[in-house]
């Protein structure tokens, strides 16, 4: 049984339609797929339809953009009630923050001498609610200002670079609380990727566990073998679920093919058990799995 628990579609900054991600996952031999677009559940419905047709199990999730000790930290939320008001408000606040800072990014890049417009970015963002730096990066690539997304981030969009503009993000601890109240299971995405190690040290992870964190993504391309081993040991000590996933973005991220990392069946079972407990405790009508039962 192969499970990939973190992927993106055109509902955020991936390049495939939600249904395409699901069909590709089935073709790649995956049995379980979680669609976890940034700050949006708009891909859930088309993905669910495709999962039923393809005979693959779909776990509906969200990757929430939060801030923790001054750094950006991503929180995966599995199977929360998408109509829970505080969760809806939390996501809307992030999306509004993205939209509000976009003119500032474009202006900063123009001041830097680049001929980019808000329309250029909107074209790349398409129908997504979560338009962000990845779409600016795509526009910059199209304009010839960078070779690929990574180069655009490194030279123009990362903090400290000419096109960087701060945006609103809820605190990680608030997000964990809201996800739990919505009946979902909060799991840290790539905790030690991109400098996360400094703010998510062992004591920090223990504290988050006390606040209700359920798991950590250990097998992720941003973690080298040493980081994975260390995180796996920490998860064991802290009784956190260990997940593994591709963080697939279609053409938006190289070396993140579907199934490149996966979640062990026993860990998936633990995650679903905890999600069920949290759902019951919340009293919320949470979404179930779509497609074949797991286990």
Q: Choose the one of Zn ion, ligand AMP, Fe ion, none that binds residue 189, judging by a C-beta under 5 to 8 angstroms depending on kind.
A: Fe ion
Encoding tokens for residue 255? 């070396």
| Closest separation in Å from C-beta 199 to Fe ion | 15
Round to whole Å and give the CA distance between 45 and 55: 15
Tokens 């920490």, residue located: 234
Report if residue 147 touches ligand AMP, rule: CB under 6 A: no
Residue 39 partner contact from ligand AMP, Zn ion, Fe ion, none using kind-dependent CB cut-offs of 5 to 8 Å: none
Task: Select the residue interacting with ligand AMP from 153, 170, 188, 214 (CB under 6 A).
Answer: 153
Site string for ligand AMP, 156-185 (x = CB under 6 A): -----------x------------------
Q: How far is the CB of 58 from ligand AMP (least distance, A)?
A: 21
Region of 113 please: left (phi>0), alpha (psi -120 to 50) or beta. Answer: left
Residue 191 near ligand AMP by CB under 6 A: no
Count Cβ atoms below 10 Å from residue 238 Cβ, excluding itself.
16
Return all residues near 219 (Cβ < 8 A) that are at least 6 apart.
228, 242, 243, 244, 245, 261, 262, 263
Instruction: Tell me the C-alpha distance between 271 and 289, whole Å.
Output: 13
Which of 98, 180 has the CB closer to ligand AMP?
Answer: 98
Collapsed DSSP state (helix, strand, coil) of residue 135 = helix
Tell me which DSSP letter residue 155 carries.
I
Nearer to ligand AMP, 243 or 282 (CB): 243
- Total residues binding Fe ion (CB under 5 A): 4
Binding site for ligand AMP (CB under 6 A): 38, 65, 98, 132-134, 149-150, 153, 167
């Amino acid at each position: 049984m192969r499970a990939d628990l973190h992927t993106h579609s055109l509902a955020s900054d991936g390049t495939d339609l939600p249904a395409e991600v699901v069909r590709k996952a089935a073709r790649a031999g995956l049995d379980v797929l979680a669609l976890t677009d940034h700050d949006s559940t708009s891909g859930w419905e088309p993905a669910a339809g495709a999962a039923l047709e393809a005979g693959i199990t779909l776990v509906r999730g969200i990757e929430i953009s939060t801030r923790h000790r001054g750094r950006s930290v991503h929180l995966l939320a599995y199977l929360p009630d998408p109509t829970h008001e505080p969760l809806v408000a939390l996501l809307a606040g992030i999306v509004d923050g993205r939209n509000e800072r976009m003119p500032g990014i474009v202006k900063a890049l123009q001041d830097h001498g680049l001929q980019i417009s808000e329309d250029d970015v909107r074209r790349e963002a398409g129908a997504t609610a979560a338009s962000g730096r990845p779409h600016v990066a795509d526009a910059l690539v199209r304009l010839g200002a960078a070779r690929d997304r990574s180069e655009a981030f490194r030279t123009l969009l990362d903090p400290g670079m000419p096109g960087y503009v701060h945006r609103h993000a809820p605190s990680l601890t608030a997000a964990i609380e809201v996800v739990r109240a919505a009946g979902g299971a909060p799991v840290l995405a790539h905790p030690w990727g991109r400098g996360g190690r400094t703010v998510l040290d062992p004591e920090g992870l223990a504290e988050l566990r006390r606040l209700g964190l359920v798991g950590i993504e250990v097998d992720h391309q941003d973690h080298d073998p040493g980081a994975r081993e260390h995180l796996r040991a920490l998860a064991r000590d802290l009784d956190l679920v260990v997940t593994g996933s591709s963080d697939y973005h279609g053409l938006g991220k190289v070396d993140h093919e579907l199934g490149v990392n996966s979640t062990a069946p026993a860990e998936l079972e633990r995650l679903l058990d905890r999600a069920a407990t949290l759902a019951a405790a919340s009293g919320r009508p949470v979404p179930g799995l779509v497609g074949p039962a797991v286990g």
